[in-house]
Structure 1
Amino acid sequence: MTLAAVLVFGIAAAEQAVAGTPVYVGDAKAALVPMHTIDHSLWHTLLAKYVDSDGRVDYKGWHASGPDQALLDDYLNHLSTASIAADVNTTQAHRLAFWINAYNALTIKGILREYPTTSIRNHTPKLWGYHIWHDLKLHVGQQSFSLDEIEHQVLRKMGEPRIHFAIVCASIGCPRLLNEAYLPDRVDEQLTANAKDFFSRSQNFRHDVSGKRFYLSAILKWFGEDFGDGHSEVLRRIAGWLPDSTAERAALGNAVSISYLDYNWQLNAQSAQ
């Protein structure tokens, strides 16, 4: 065996060794229905009960409630019944609402499995073992999707950058988790409202007027390409979501430099916890 072959074999073996054991949720053998028929009311009820207006979650209370954990499982099983095949009645709005809700519900499920915990990053190891973003998988349409796959292979490919103000990684630095389900007939309105809320918070946006500088959430650094090709396009794209006319004019005029804020990975739990 050549040295190159040995190295390739060693790398492949190492990758296999460090991979975590997948954890599957949902129903792998569910009978399928068109995605536009999926009912998100159960998820809406759970969010209204356990999430406040700032997007903080009562993980302690949810974790302590066996019945409500079972209801979350029921909702995830319901999501499994959605067909991912093209359907003339399943619109972009249906797909956006479905996959945003699926991402957020799967994240909550993952945190409740690990609770008590202080951060989702406690469950994203760099070297080996179970990785919540890669190894927690939801059955949908008789396939399985990890959080990473939902975000990068499904939602980002829809060409809607406002998803980054809707999907939540259970951290304070994330956008707020809405205490209502995303719904197809309201998803555009909900996405815009959450985008505006996102930039209204100092942890995500600050404007140094005299210094002609925006301080933006690291989300805009990590996913800047989804908002436009280059500095000026990104600024124009976010201008309408900024909290005041001074900031909006600066963005539209490409009149500011950009720095990025530190990201807070602490759990987005309600303070009583």
Structure 2
Amino acid sequence: MSTLGRIITLAFLIAAETTSTFAASPVTLGKNLTASERIPIARIDHVQWDTLVKKYVNSKGMVDYERWQKNSSDMQKLDRYLDHLSEVIIAADAKKADQLAFWINAYNAVTVKGILREYPTTSIRNHTAKFFGYNIWDDLQLIVDGKSYSLNQMEHEVLRKMQEPRIHFAIVCASIGCPRLLNEAYVPSKIDQQLTSNAKAFFADPTKFNYDKTMKTIAVSPILDWFSEDFGPTTAEQMQRIAPFVPKEAHDLAGGGQARVSYLDYDWDLNDQAKK
């Protein structure tokens, strides 16, 4: 082998060893069950999650991570809820309302669990390694119907494919720039009402939506930019899609399709009651 060949081979070996050293192993939540032990999605009960968020999340969606983390009983209750989610069978004919409630709650509960594992921390971005090491969005995984789902998979491979753009005002990545974390569980019987309510709360927040009727301008959360295709093929259609949820005075401006649209900065600070 030539000197150059030896150098190239050595470089590949070093790179492989480095990747092996720093690549993160998945952190698995929930439990493995046989097919006979699983239950239909309609029988999944979100009451444990409802109890927890009522206790630790305020009306603005801010979480008391510090108090939650110190309560070993409630930490165990969260783990039991995640175990319960693993019991589900996702049938092809499952009702959309059941699936939306299940996956939104699952995403939010896994995110909270992920933050509680790291707390104290100032941002979820502190735990999202881009190349080597642990990335909470990819490596924190929940077993659902015998398969492991990361947060990214829940969002992009499941929820977004349901063609319900209001999910973007319901799933919460533990950041101030996110929609508020609802302090009740999403449930199939009122999922439509809950999604609409949280969408309206999102656009009522001037850090996520503001406008000038005289100048015909709208400034909106970058969530509408990042996931623009979920709201429509053009900016005008995207604004028309959110028009029912924006403050009443801005309905015509958003729905008219003529506004100049810009995107606000995103606040990645933790949605922590102790900080805000």
**What TM-score results when the alignment is normalised by the length of structure 2?**
0.91
Between the aligned partners of 1:271 and 1:208, the Cα distance in structure 2 is 34
For 1:59, the aligned partner's letter is Y
How many angstroms does 1:122 deviate by? 0.2
Give yes or no for the alignment of 1:261 onto 2:267: no
> What SS is found at the alignment partner of 2:188?
coil
Q: How many residues align?
A: 266
Residue of structure 1 in register with 2:63 after alignment = 57
How many angstroms does 1:125 deviate by? 1.3
Contact 2:105 2:186 in 1 (8 A): yes
Give yes or no for the alignment of 1:40 onto 2:46: yes
Percentage of matched positions with identical amino acids: 54
Larger Rg: 2
How many angstroms does 1:252 deviate by? 1.5
Between the aligned partners of 1:16 and 1:177, the Cα distance in structure 2 is 36
Give yes or no for the alignment of 1:118 onto 2:126: no
How many angstroms does 1:17 deviate by? 6.3
What pairs up with 1:5-154 in 2 under 5 angstroms?
A: 13=16, 19-29=23-33, 31-87=37-93, 90-154=94-158
Between the aligned partners of 1:146 and 1:183, the Cα distance in structure 2 is 22
Between the aligned partners of 1:83 and 1:162, the Cα distance in structure 2 is 24
How many angstroms does 1:24 deviate by? 0.1
Instruction: Pick one of 240, 244, 248 that aligns with 1:240.
Output: 244
**What TM-score results when the alignment is normalised by the length of structure 1?**
0.92
How many angstroms does 1:182 deviate by? 0.1
Between the aligned partners of 1:46 and 1:122, the Cα distance in structure 2 is 25
Between the aligned partners of 2:38 and 2:164, the Cα distance in structure 1 is 26
How far does the alpha carbon of each residue in 1:194-233 deviate from its partner, in whole angstroms, 9 at most, with x for none? 0000000011001022321100001001001100111111
Between the aligned partners of 2:215 and 2:20, the Cα distance in structure 1 is 50
> What SS is found at the alignment partner of 1:228?
coil
How far does the alpha carbon of each residue in 1:29-53 deviate from its partner, in whole angstroms, 9 at most, with x for none? 2621001110000100001000000
How far does the alpha carbon of each residue in 1:154-188 deviate from its partner, in whole angstroms, 9 at most, with x for none? 00000000000000000000000000000001000
Instruction: Pick one of 180, 187, 194 that aligns with 1:190.
Output: 194
Residue of structure 1 in register with 2:224 after alignment = 220
Between the aligned partners of 2:253 and 2:27, the Cα distance in structure 1 is 47
Distance 1:55 1:79, change over 3 A: same
> What SS is found at the alignment partner of 1:185?
helix
How far does the alpha carbon of each residue in 1:16-35 deviate from its partner, in whole angstroms, 9 at most, with x for none? 66542100010122621001
Contact 2:66 2:274 in 1 (8 A): no
Which stretches of structure 1, 4 residues or more, deviate above 3 A after TM superposition?
A: 12-19
For 1:155, the aligned partner's letter is L
How many angstroms does 1:126 deviate by? 1.9
Q: What's the RMSD between the two structures over aligned residues?
A: 2.1
> What SS is found at the alignment partner of 1:28?
coil
For 1:253, the aligned partner's letter is G
Distance 1:68 1:85, change over 3 A: same
How many angstroms does 1:257 deviate by? 0.7
Between the aligned partners of 1:153 and 1:248, the Cα distance in structure 2 is 32
